[in-house]
Amino acid sequence: MADPHPGEMILYDDILPPLLDNSYRMSITTDVSIAGAPQPLNSRDAFFNVEGPRFSLSPTEVGGVFPPRNGHGAFSESIPHIAILRRTLPWERELDPQNLIGTPSLIPNVPPPQGQVPWMALLLFEEGEYTLLQNQPLEQVVPADVFQRLGSPANIRCDAIEASLDLVNAILPSKEELQLLAHVRHVNKDDRELSIEGSKGFFAVVMGSRLPNENAKCRACLVSLEERSDLVSKDPPANELVFGGFFPGEFVAEDAQAAHAQSAAAHPAVVAATPAVAAASARDVAIARSRPGVIGIGTRFFFNTRLVLLYSWQFQTIGTGSFRDLMQGVDVGLIGKVANPGHPPLTDTCHLPISVDDRAGVPEKVLYRGPLVPFQLTRDTLGPYHSADQARRVTPETGAEDISYACAFETGRLLASADPRLAQELMRWRREAYKQSSRGDSVSQVQSALNMTQQVDLHLPVIPILAQTAVARIASGAGPIADPTGIDKIKDVIGLNPIAVQKAYNLPSVSAAVNMLGGDAGALGAVVTTQPQTSRPATTIDAVAADSASLAHLTAARDRILNNTAAKLGGKP
């Protein structure tokens, strides 16, 4: 899937993991038969779990929330949502694998939405509508049958939110609505700050369906609805009738506030504040309420229910605080612009007078300016500076000292000293240079001592080159081979000197004289006999010219050689 272009985003209905979170058994059987007779082979089972967040969500998995956490603003027309970094998370579990909720009834002419139902929902509660419970045993959070369907995981503690059953039924999305409220976004992340890295730009987004009230303190809660068929309804409850007025205040009839009762034994999570009166299950109530005309008795809610809380955050809907409002309200200016001129007393060059104690301990006023300036400055080319004092300046106008660059120097020095690895690397940088330089010096000294004209590449092994040069030099400087017995004098005896013998006897060659003196020809070299010439019949130039086969052969050989040479030289034949 191609990444979106800058400024674009792509929405997906869902992104499903290859395997849902669960325990799996891999069963391997092999069928082998020899000559039609099956051979029994043991089958083998292997088990593995696919795991993911289930009863809590780490804050590091959350990519962003809206309205902002602890934000204040006009959020009363915003639908809360949460962006989760793990794009498959909302679909990693099944909401209702045994289909206890049932299939939502179809609205005429409206095809059912495609995609999977997520197992989580984002609910919005106002202050006072809920109780936050921390670190509860799971058994006390979900009803017993749900706990059993969850696989009775032992020793699980989780956070929970407790609210009245009536409220939860009123605000909890139905099965189809849950599906519509979760999607995946793929955004371009090139022009973002850093912490988004590693997410590949995918976010799973879960929306709420309730709008915050004005001037209210709200808590948005991401809850797990896995196996909560007691709460999630097949179809949504009845809608508000829209009259001429805007949410008429006089329309106070408590709509179908039917009695919600559940035997406390079967549902320990439904905490009875007063004894149960009616016997309809929460689901039945919800279904009943979806049918118009069923008017309940205006009973007040007395029953609470608990939900596994994965993640939650608070915000307040007061004042203005949308991104747009904030950005439009931002005070724009170049650095050095202060709300109340003179406070702080910046100079027109953006220097700030500050008090310091000089090295004698005398307090003095100096000027300081940070690296951020309101105008373009020429880069100082006097560097490098070797100490902070070297970078201190006195401003000609006021005579006050400017310590900006001295301060920069010290800041750099302190930052570098705080990093032990950097100190090591600095030393290494210098040491490498010194080492190579001293090596170069030694080699050049040796070279001059050896009278070497050859340039030596310091990155090659120098020793063999020097050794070879030294040997050559020693060898060339040595005198003739010594003759301690003086036996070479004997060659001056006239009768033994082949040259003299050749001259005296007028022999044709020196070798003849050597032979005469009894010299061993073998010692002078092997006797080479001449190759006997191949006898050929006498032929004439006409006969050679008439031998066209041989001539063609020769021409071909010549052309081949010419072609090869031409090809080697890169030219055309």
By CB under 8 A, what part of segment 482-501 binds other proteins? Answer: none
Instruction: Measure the N-to-C terminal CA separation of the chain; round to a whole number of Å.
Output: 54
Report how far residue 27's alpha carbon sits from residue 44's, in angstroms, rounded to the nearest whole number.
6
Which residue, 358 or 419, has its beta carbon nearer to other proteins? 419
Contacts of 126 (CB under 8 A, 6+ apart): 212, 213, 216, 217, 218, 219
Residue among 251, 272, 252, 250 at smallest CA distance from 261 = 272
Using CB under 8 A as the binding rule, the residues of this chain from 251 to 270 that contact other proteins are 251, 255-256
Report how far residue 307's alpha carbon sits from residue 161's, in angstroms, rounded to the nearest whole number.
5
Which residue, 28 or 561, has its beta carbon nearer to other proteins? 28
Residues 52-71: x/- map of binding to other proteins (CB under 8 A)?
-----------xx-xxxx-x
Answer for which of 77, 127, 358, 389 binds other proteins (CB under 8 A) is 77
Q: Which stretch binds other proteins (CB under 8 A): 156-164, 365-373, 534-542, 545-553?
A: 365-373
Report how far residue 431's alpha carbon sits from residue 425's, in angstroms, rounded to the nearest whole number.
10
Neighbours of 67 (CB within 10 A): 25
Name the amino acid, one letter, at 408. A
The two tokens of residue 537 are: 């019949």
CB of 571 to other proteins, least distance (A): 36
CB of 395 to other proteins, least distance (A): 15
Answer for which of 100, 133, 144, 238 binds other proteins (CB under 8 A) is 238
Which residue, 28 or 554, has its beta carbon nearer to other proteins? 28
SS3 of 248, please? coil
Pairing of strands 71-72, 303-316: parallel
H or E, element range at 402: strand 401-402
Name the amino acid, one letter, at 147. F
Report how far residue 317's alpha carbon sits from residue 282's, in angstroms, rounded to the nearest whole number.
31
Using CB under 8 A as the binding rule, the residues of this chain from 529 to 558 that contact other proteins are none
Residues 279-308: x/- map of binding to other proteins (CB under 8 A)?
----------x-------------------
Q: Which stretch binds other proteins (CB under 8 A): 131-139, 437-445, 500-508, 511-519?
A: 437-445
Q: Does 461 bind other proteins (CB under 8 A)?
A: no
CB of 221 to other proteins, least distance (A): 14
CB of 282 to other proteins, least distance (A): 15
Residue 432 CA, chain-centre distance (Å), reads 33
Residue 518 has phi, psi (to 5 degrees) of 85, 15
Q: Which stretch binds other proteins (CB under 8 A): 130-138, 238-246, 507-515, 541-549?
A: 238-246
Using CB under 8 A as the binding rule, the residues of this chain from 316 to 355 that contact other proteins are 321-324, 326-340, 343-344, 346, 352, 354
Which residue, 101 or 150, has its beta carbon nearer to other proteins? 150
SS3 of 282, please? helix
Neighbours of 517 (CB within 10 A): 13
| Rounded alpha-carbon distances, angstroms, from residue 480 to 367, 477, 483, 486 | 84, 10, 9, 13
CB of 174 to other proteins, least distance (A): 6
Residues 14-53: x/- map of binding to other proteins (CB under 8 A)?
xxxxxxx-xxxxxxxx-------------------x----
Residue among 62, 14, 20 at smallest CA distance from 178 = 14
Which residue, 109 or 529, has its beta carbon nearer to other proteins? 109
Which residue, 344 or 552, has its beta carbon nearer to other proteins? 344
Overall residue count recorded for the chain in this entry: 573
CB of 420 to other proteins, least distance (A): 10
Which residue, 124 or 513, has its beta carbon nearer to other proteins? 124
Name the amino acid, one letter, at 234. K
Which residue, 62 or 141, has its beta carbon nearer to other proteins? 62
Size of the site for other proteins (CB under 8 A): 186
Q: Which stretch binds other proteins (CB under 8 A): 241-249, 483-491, 503-511, 529-537?
A: 241-249
Buried b (16+ CB within 10 A) or exposed e, 399-409: ebbbbbbbbbb
Using CB under 8 A as the binding rule, the residues of this chain from 96 to 115 that contact other proteins are 97, 104, 107, 109-111, 113-115
Which residue, 241 or 493, has its beta carbon nearer to other proteins? 241
Which residue, 334 or 496, has its beta carbon nearer to other proteins? 334
Which residue, 423 or 557, has its beta carbon nearer to other proteins? 423
CB of 269 to other proteins, least distance (A): 20
Q: Does 79 bind other proteins (CB under 8 A)?
A: yes
Answer for which of 245, 275, 399, 495 binds other proteins (CB under 8 A) is 245
Which residue, 341 or 486, has its beta carbon nearer to other proteins? 341
| Contact yes or no for 323/73 (Cβ under 8 A) | no
Helical packing angle, 404-417 and 420-449, nearest 10°: 90
CB of 300 to other proteins, least distance (A): 13
Using CB under 8 A as the binding rule, the residues of this chain from 374 to 413 that contact other proteins are 374-377, 379-380, 383-388, 391, 404-413
Using CB under 8 A as the binding rule, the residues of this chain from 188 to 227 that contact other proteins are 188-189, 191-198, 201, 203, 205, 207, 209-213
Name the amino acid, one letter, at 97. P
Answer for which of 142, 187, 366, 513 binds other proteins (CB under 8 A) is 187
Contacts of 115 (CB under 8 A, 6+ apart): 13, 14, 179
| Contact yes or no for 199/83 (Cβ under 8 A) | no
Answer for which of 33, 42, 155, 239 binds other proteins (CB under 8 A) is 239
233: left (phi over 0), alpha (psi -120 to 50) or beta: beta
Token pair 């805007």 is found at 246
Which residue, 324 or 572, has its beta carbon nearer to other proteins? 324
Using CB under 8 A as the binding rule, the residues of this chain from 123 to 182 that contact other proteins are 149-151, 153, 167, 170-171, 173-174, 176-177, 179-182
Pairing of strands 271-272, 303-316: antiparallel
Residue among 165, 157, 138 at smallest CA distance from 149 = 138
Which residue, 360 or 418, has its beta carbon nearer to other proteins? 418
H or E, element range at 177: helix 175-180
